[in-house]
Amino acid sequence: MSGPLIEAKDVSVKIGDRRILDHIELAINAKEIVTVVGPNGSGKSTLLRTLIGAIKPDKGQIKRQHGLTIGYVPQKLHIDPTLPMTVRRFLNLPRAHDQSTIDLALQRAGIPGRANDAMTALSGGQFQRALMARALLDTPDLLMLDEAAQGLDQTGVADFYKQIEDIRNQLGCGVLMVSHDLHVVMRAADRVICLNQHICCQGHPEAVTTDPAYHALFGTDTDEVLALFRHDPHQHPHQETESTKETTNETPT
């Protein structure tokens, strides 16, 4: 496939009478990890749900590559603790997959051999990986994760993002994720999109963290994030890429 996997062209979304997203222009390419950051209620989940087609924009257009397969990891999933559900059964909902497909998805998600465990017996990190395994069953071209590392401790979060990078490297898929873990985002993402109903700025993480629009959203204590980023260049194989150096920005509202 060539060209972006998915594009939003001047997309606006209203829920009821409220405008939630306005003039969204973005494109996600194969093999890139793009992270959406923004304050609570800024429309991050709505953006992902619009891109997968669960919400219809009232203006603009979503263009997906022909035959695009999307794996989606939702923000929250509650499983009734009284319900006896193994990982295998969970992965076979709503449709069954063969053993080798399940084994491969679990391996890629970083929980090999867990098919017979009860979902409720998994740790927080393992549970999130089971959700990820489900999104990987169809070997997606584009993996979308909505705050999939929430509730994990710092090491858990770092491990989880490492897993996402490994998946990107193995499958060559694009990754679009929402995250509040700014430190990790700055390490793991090729591109960051700052959202506050509209896109305030986007670009390579280092460039975004110096953007006034980013500071207006997250405050000046994010200097610490930038310092961390600069002092650990080996984590950032893309930082010299010309095409990722620039940001576009507007004044945040």
- Given the complex with ligand ATP, which of 12 and 122 has the nearer CB atom? 12
Q: Which two tokens stand for residue 170?
A: 């193995």
In the complex, minimum distance from the CB of residue 43 to ligand ATP, in angstroms, rounded to a whole number = 4
The DSSP element (H or E) to which 220 belongs, if any, is none
Residues that bind ligand ATP in the complex, under the rule CB under 6 A: 15, 20, 38, 40-46
In the complex, minimum distance from the CB of residue 177 to ligand ATP, in angstroms, rounded to a whole number = 12
Q: Say how far apart CA 232 and CA 21 lie, in whole Å.
A: 35
Q: Which residue's structure tokens are 């010299």?
A: 240
How does DSSP assign 157-197, residue by residue? HHHHHHHHHHHHHHH--EEEEE-S-HHHHHHH-SEEEEEES
In the complex, minimum distance from the CB of residue 15 to ligand ATP, in angstroms, rounded to a whole number = 4
- Given the complex with ligand ATP, which of 74 and 110 has the nearer CB atom? 74
In the complex, minimum distance from the CB of residue 238 to ligand ATP, in angstroms, rounded to a whole number = 26
In the complex, minimum distance from the CB of residue 149 to ligand ATP, in angstroms, rounded to a whole number = 13
- Given the complex with ligand ATP, which of 17 and 242 has the nearer CB atom? 17
Cβ atoms of 61 and 4 closer than 8 Å:
no
Q: Say how far apart CA 146 and CA 225 lie, in whole Å.
A: 21
How does DSSP assign 45-60, residue by residue? HHHHHHHTTSS--SEE
What proportions of the chain, in percent to the nearest 5, are helix, strand and coil?
35, 25, 40
In the complex, minimum distance from the CB of residue 152 to ligand ATP, in angstroms, rounded to a whole number = 16
- Given the complex with ligand ATP, which of 22 and 141 has the nearer CB atom? 22
- Given the complex with ligand ATP, which of 9 and 180 has the nearer CB atom? 180
Radius of gyration of the chain (CA): 18
Cβ atoms of 218 and 182 closer than 8 Å:
yes
| 3-state per-residue secondary structure call for 190-205 | CEEEEEECEEEEEECH
CB atoms within 10 A of CB 18: 8
- Given the complex with ligand ATP, which of 90 and 160 has the nearer CB atom? 160
Q: Is 3 helix (H, G, I), strand (E, B) or coil?
A: coil
- Given the complex with ligand ATP, which of 45 and 163 has the nearer CB atom? 45
In the complex, minimum distance from the CB of residue 180 to ligand ATP, in angstroms, rounded to a whole number = 7
